[in-house]
Chain A
Amino acid sequence: MSDGQSRPNAATGQIIVSGLTKQYKNVRAVDNLSFTVEPGRVTGFLGPNGAGKTTTLRMLLNLVTPTAGTATIGGHRYADLADPLRTVGAVLEASSAHKGRTGINHLRVICAAAGLPKERADEALALVGLSPAAKRKFKGYSLGMKQRLGIAAAMLGNPQVLILDEPANGLDPEGIRWMRGFLKGLAAEGRTVLVSSHLLSEMQLLADDVVIIAAGKLVRQGPVEQVMGSMTHGARVRVRTPQADELAAALREQSATVDADPHGALLVSGVDAPAVGRVALAAKVELHELTTERPDLEGVFLELTAGKAEIR
């Protein structure tokens, strides 16, 4: 960052949420939530619909007043940042531009308010590949173009911290792939990237860390591998054979755990796939399938948030 020295605290870009609470009339949308987000990594902010993700992000950005607790970016509350757009870029709703305004003018309005040179508007549009549509009105944009314009707006001040709420919504596969590369690139430059999403398979590809919340409370936080490793089952081996009983008995002698799945295959845990193959060879059992199954984020997520996602 070119002017990082002038704001040493903000430049660290660490987000700290501490005891954050939002009480609406009948609902405690966010309940004593605490977590940290580190620079140089993509952090996925996950939770079922209505878990309080958006409310949390909006409290972090001074749009919603917390009932209790604090949220700071680089040690400062958002409202206290001297130059918010050069510190934090945020993408909250895809549709947040005037329908009758052109994309470039939307960015120029923001530049004017933030005291940024208006050339930044052109540069940011080029950054997200939207230059050809610069002079088209916002109402003519596809959902993917709207998302890109939102990201361009967030990048105007070349910020250290990026906060995105459901940025993959409405993107086609190509758009999602572009977004993934873009955000990973920003994190690789040392920036803090916080992305909320409910697209778990996408998060598994994108995130380094995850923060999982449900019903306004923290469920789990940590690096993706660590959160997945903490689950009740780790990797399993799926094996299919005509002589299931024989193989199951032989495997149990090796102190493996064997379960039958509803489709007639065996699910083996406690030993790896080569070990299963050796046992089968020794027992002269014919194998039709031998696959290692790793738990995915979706399975982990569903297990962690089970029973906590009901409508409040």
Chain B
Amino acid sequence: MTLVRSELLKIRTTSTWWIFGLISLPLWALALGFNWLQTDALASGNVGDVPADQADQIQAVSSADSIAANLYTNGQFFGLLIVMLLGIVVVTSEFFHQTVTTTFLTAPHRTAVMLAKLVAAGVLALLFWIVTTVLNLVFAPLILNATDVGTQLDSGAVWRAVALNGLAYLLWSVLGVGLGVLIRSQIGATVTGILLYLGGTIGAAIAIGLLAQRFGDWINELQLLVPSLASTLMVSGTEIPGNPPRWAGAAVLIGYAVVTGVIGVLTIRRRDIS
């Protein structure tokens, strides 16, 4: 517990957290604008000509639950990226500023230190989630009412999506900490993290789409294995036909978080600090 307090104090006494917070705000606003347009299109049924085989999917995402869930988890795409980067910084800044020596002198039990870091990064991630969720609860009803969908605040599916969104924030911060241990260089870990997240999302989506056309729809199930797609799947408000179930997305993401977390802890236990 003292170690967690120390880790939180480390975060609080440097400027990283509020700089990342400031970066998050415009990204959140951008996402809100985009989702507004999307909501508008879906709610009015004005999505253009749709091939027959995708009609089911459009139907699913056009449901009130899905539209509302999408808005109440607004900002997730960049929010997850930000908390992952924060997780990376929690570890790599210790190597960058050589404070890791002092940290391990103060607490020679490195496993405990790493667990404290995981908890601290998780707490910070949940704070980011709380702030974005509060903002979403203020702005999403405005959009939903304007598009005649209704606030949907009495829908269990919406609150489930909000909760799963919190889980996603938590898991991505854990992924970040694990990545930070594996790649000690601050720049190296940050670049790798961003590439994995953005490249992983966009690249994998394109690749899987192409492969699915060539080899059949079962390939679509593979998007589960891409962490960022798994988390998108996890927070989608409703089951979408042709996509794997949401719990599978959650399972995969938890799997990744546990694996990187464990590898991170085991690695740092054995490493020479010089």
Chain A residues near B (Cβ < 8 Å):
54-55, 58, 61-65, 78-79, 81, 84-85, 88, 90, 92-93, 95-102, 105-106, 108-110, 112-115, 153
Instruction: Check A62 against B106 for contact (C-beta < 8 Å).
Output: no
Known A54-B274, A113-B2: A63·B101 in contact at CB below 8 Å: yes
- Measured in the bound complex, the distance between the Cα atoms of B9 and A114 in whole Å is 13
When distances are taken between beta carbons in the complex, the residues of chain A under 8 Å from B10 are 98, 101, 109
- Measured in the bound complex, the distance between the Cα atoms of B109 and A92 in whole Å is 19
Is residue B183 within 8 Å, beta carbon to beta carbon, of the partner chain?
no
Instruction: Check B101 against A113 for contact (C-beta < 8 Å).
Output: no
When distances are taken between beta carbons in the complex, the residues of chain B under 8 Å from A105 are 9, 13
Instruction: Check A101 against B5 for contact (C-beta < 8 Å).
Output: no
Other-chain contact of A58, B14, B108, B273 (Cβ < 8 Å): B273
Chain B residues near A (Cβ < 8 Å):
2-3, 5-6, 9-10, 13-15, 93, 97-99, 101-109, 270, 272-274
Known A55-B274, A63-B274, A64-B274: A108·B105 in contact at CB below 8 Å: no
Instruction: Check B272 against A113 for contact (C-beta < 8 Å).
Output: no
Query: What are 25 A-B residue pairs whose CB atoms fall within 8 Å in the complex?
Result: A63-B101, A63-B104, A63-B272, A64-B273, A79-B108, A81-B108, A84-B105, A84-B107, A85-B105, A88-B105, A95-B97, A96-B97, A96-B102, A100-B15, A101-B14, A102-B13, A108-B13, A109-B10, A109-B13, A110-B6, A110-B102, A112-B5, A112-B6, A113-B6, A114-B2
Q: Closest CB-CB distance, B10 to chain A, in whole Å? A: 5
Instruction: Check B101 against A93 for contact (C-beta < 8 Å).
Output: yes
Across the interface, name the chain B residue whose C-beta is closest to A118: B9
Q: Closest CB-CB distance, A303 to chain B, in whole Å? A: 30
Across the interface, name the chain B residue whose C-beta is closest to A64: B272
Other-chain contact of B14, A65, A81, A100, A108 (Cβ < 8 Å): A100
When distances are taken between beta carbons in the complex, the residues of chain B under 8 Å from A54 are 274
Q: Closest CB-CB distance, A149 to chain B, in whole Å? A: 11
Instruction: Check A63 against B105 for contact (C-beta < 8 Å).
Output: yes
- Measured in the bound complex, the distance between the Cα atoms of B102 and A105 in whole Å is 14
Across the interface, name the chain B residue whose C-beta is closest to A99: B97
Instruction: Check B106 against A114 for contact (C-beta < 8 Å).
Output: yes
